[in-house]
Amino acid sequence: MQLEQMKTWHWWLLITLLATLIFTVRALGPVDLEGWAQHRNVGYVMDMMWQGSWLAQYDIQGRILSKPPLHTWTIAPFAAVLGVDRLAMILPAFLSVLVLSWLVFFEGRRRFGLLAGAFAALAVILSPMMLKHIALVRSDPMFALGIAAAAFIAFRAWETGRGWIWFWVIAGLATLIKGPLGLILAGAGLLAYFWEKRTDSTTPALRGRQWPGVIAFFAISLSWFLLALWQQGYELIDKMFFDELIGQAAGTRKDSIPGENLPKPTLFLLLRFLPFSLFFFYGLWCVFRRPADNAAERRFERFLTVWVLTGLLIFSLAAHHRADLLLPLWPACALIAGREMVRFMNHIGQTKFVSGLVVVALLVIGGSYNHYHHPTGKRAENVEYAAQMQQAAAIIQAEAIDVSQLQHMGTATLLQMYLGTFHQWLDLPQLYQMLEAQGEVLLAVEPWALELLQQTSDLQISSLFDQQHALAETPVMIVRVSL
């Protein structure tokens, strides 16, 4: 079958099956929840589901959430049905990637043609960075989806002068995922109006009623923040504003300064989204050198370009650099890349291009299987550690220890996830307070925490099990502590 003969529903089905296949490959791999800072989000889910902390969650180290909780909230229905486990917590990421690919396909088909939209959706699914995030307990794919949805609505509102309220509503939801950067990135493409106005006097003005949407945006974003602030106080401001928002941008709490690694985000965009990023960068050059003749197409390509370049400028100037931060820019990049892929196919011939695309898809899926099912390096250590925590939890439960009374110091989030408990780590003052109240504390520790306790001369510490016990094969130890 020639690609031109494929109907829209064929592409919908192919995109859905491909995303589902990749997710299944990832989901069937070993548990890696201790890597990529997932353990913090796992802790938030445990606090929400088991402790009833819906407004503001803590991790097991007693650290308050660093970003708004919409991502955590979306896990709740899956956790309620499936339990607090890995599958329940990675399903929102999969659904976010799937819906994002649908959205990119829909917009690409509408603006650049059916094949361009289809190739753009494939670029979303098959990019290495999206392969990573499709099965992680992280908010990045959902944030990218929110920004893309708001951005496409904004472009349509620019053209028609209607529907601005939905832009503000979706931007408000994106803000509840990772903060105010959602609004900035979602609206960045609208700056293309000034570019387009210089070359086309008939460009539609940015018209339409904004106030209802602005009110909705602040109602959505501030309602949660004010309630959480009333409940948690200054700790929330210190974490979310001074540590995360200002600290990440200016590097005030990190050993870095704004602009220190200026080219790094651009290099991340090139290398972490190969091979599709090559089509994007060539397409970006074409936007400036050979803009589209059709006014509507030119307006959209410039909208996408300004969206990407504004995001790159923000991330390049920020003190915090991480390739994952570029995910909200990739939908726009993929659309530009998709159009260039069609042009490239027309140049080299459909047979060669499709053969190459199939090879890329097979390499991506096969590489994903090998990378995530046979981990190496630091990731292998994380996978082994997660398996040890599952083993330790099973041993503890088999010993009929009352895990509801078992306190923790320095143990992994996964240990408590498997035990079904949520006890924040004790520090020494809290431990002394408990000892004074009840005389003895049963404590789960890891070696570094035990060493810290042993340096305290007035504590009596005895291990519950000897070195021949099965628990000794894991990093976890159960000790009795008394004064």
Which residue reads 């509408």 in tokens?
A: 110
Q: What is the pLDDT of residue 402?
A: 86
CB atoms within 10 A of CB 428: 12
Cα–Cα distance, 157 to 420 (Å, whole number): 48
Contact residues for 333 (Cβ-Cβ < 8 A; gap 6+): 123, 269, 273, 276, 277, 280, 304, 308
Lowest mean per-residue pLDDT among 94-103, 195-204, 300-309, 457-466: 457-466
pLDDT, average across residues 152-161: 93
DSSP-derived secondary structure letter, 58: B
Mean pLDDT calculated for residue range 294-315: 93
pLDDT digits (tens, 9 = 90+) for 208-265: 889 999 999 999 989 988 888 888 877 777 776 656 666 565 555 555 566 567 788 8
**Tens digit of pLDDT for each residue in 352-373?**
888 998 999 899 888 888 888 8
Query: Can you tell me whether residue 460 is helix, strand or coil?
Result: strand
Quick check: 304 pLDDT over 90? Answer: yes
- Burial (CB count within 10 angstroms: exposed 0-12, middle 13-18, buried 19+), residue 251: middle
- Look at residue 105 in the predicted model and tell me its pLDDT: 96
pLDDT of 293 higher than 70: yes
Q: Are 141 and 99 within 8 A, CB to CB? A: no
Mean pLDDT for the stretch of residues 180-203: 89
Give the SS3 label for residue 442. Answer: strand
Average pLDDT score over residue span 160-170 = 93
> Distance between CA atoms of 192 and 311, rounded to whole angstroms?
13
Q: What is the structure's pLDDT at 140? A: 93
Q: Residue 378's Cα: distance from chain center in Å?
A: 20
What pLDDT band is residue 404 in, cutting at 50, 70 and 90?
confident
Answer whether residue 2 shows pLDDT above 80.
no
| DSSP conformation letters of 165-219 | HHHHHHHHHHHHHH-THHHHHHHHGGGHHHHHHHH-TTPPPS-S--HHHHHHHHH
For 301, the 3-state DSSP assignment is helix
Q: Is 233 left (phi over 0), alpha (psi -120 to 50) or beta?
A: left
Whole-number pLDDT of residue 249? 56
Mean pLDDT of the chain: 88
Summarised one tens digit per residue, pLDDT across range 124-150 is 999 999 999 999 999 999 999 999 999
Tokens linked to 14: 């192919």
Domain residue ranges in the chain: 3-30+66-373, 378-482
Distance between CA atoms of residues 306 and 265, nearest Å: 16
Alpha carbon distance 313, 428 (integer Å): 45
Instruction: Report which of residues 402 and 307 the model is more confident about.
Output: 307
Q: Is the peptide bond before 275 cis (omega within 30 degrees of 0)?
A: yes
Residues for the chain: how many in total? 483
Query: Quick one: pLDDT at residue 241?
Result: 66
CB 104 within 8 A of CB 117: yes
pLDDT the model gives residue 256: 59
pLDDT for the residue 246: 64
Contacts with 446 (C-beta within 8 Å, 6 or more apart), sequence order: 410, 411, 412, 475, 476, 477
Biggest distance spanned by C-alpha atoms of the chain: 82
436 CA to centre of own chain: 43
321 pLDDT exceeds 90? no
Q: How far apart are CA 25 and CA 366, in angstroms?
A: 9
The C-alpha R_g of the chain, in whole angstroms, comes to 25
Determine contact, residues 228/176, Cβ cutoff 8 Å: no
- Are the C-beta atoms of 173 and 147 separated by less than 8 Å? no
Q: What is the structure's pLDDT at 1? A: 58
Lowest mean pLDDT, pick from 98-102, 404-408, 414-418, 463-467: 463-467
Confidence band for 202, pLDDT divided at 50, 70 and 90: confident
If one compares 361 and 6, the residue with the highest pLDDT of the two is 361
Residues of the chain above pLDDT 70, percent: 94
